[in-house]
């Protein structure tokens, strides 16, 4: 029938924590700082905040890329 909301009794293997690559951490820091700069810029009435928003988008994509690349490298090395 349908899902009853109960958990299955199958035990899933525990995953090891994934170590975040250093470049991903740097990109995340840049993203957070760019968001803060955009907020400050917009609250002061400056349209320069648009540049900060674009930088935040770019750095968040870089962070995502480096995290995914790190996971793929780990999976390849474990083979």
19/32 Cα distance (integer angstroms): 20
Tell me how far apart the 2 most distant CA atoms of the chain are, in Å: 58
Q: Which pLDDT belongs to residue 55?
A: 98
pLDDT of 12 over the 70 cut: no
- Name the residue with higher pLDDT: 64 or 8: 64
- Give me the percent of the chain exceeding a pLDDT of 90: 59
The residue extents of the domains of the chain are: 22-77
Which has the higher per-residue pLDDT, 55 or 79? 55
Q: Do residues 49 and 17 lie in contact, with contact meaning Cβ atoms separated by under 8 Å?
A: no
Kindly report the number of other CB atoms within 10 A of residue 77's CB atom. Answer: 7
Whole-model pTM: value is: 0.72
Each residue's pLDDT tens digit, 24-62: 999 999 999 999 999 999 999 999 999 999 999 999 999
């Amino acid at each position: 029938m349908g899902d009853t909301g109960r958990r299955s009794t199958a035990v899933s293997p525990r995953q090891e924590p994934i170590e975040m690559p250093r470049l991903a951490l740097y990109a995340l820091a840049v993203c957070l700082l760019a968001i803060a700069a955009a907020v400050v810029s917009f609250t002061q009435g400056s349209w320069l905040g648009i540049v900060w928003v674009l930088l935040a988008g770019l750095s968040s994509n870089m962070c995502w890329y480096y995290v995914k690349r790190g996971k793929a490298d780990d999976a390849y090395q474990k083979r």
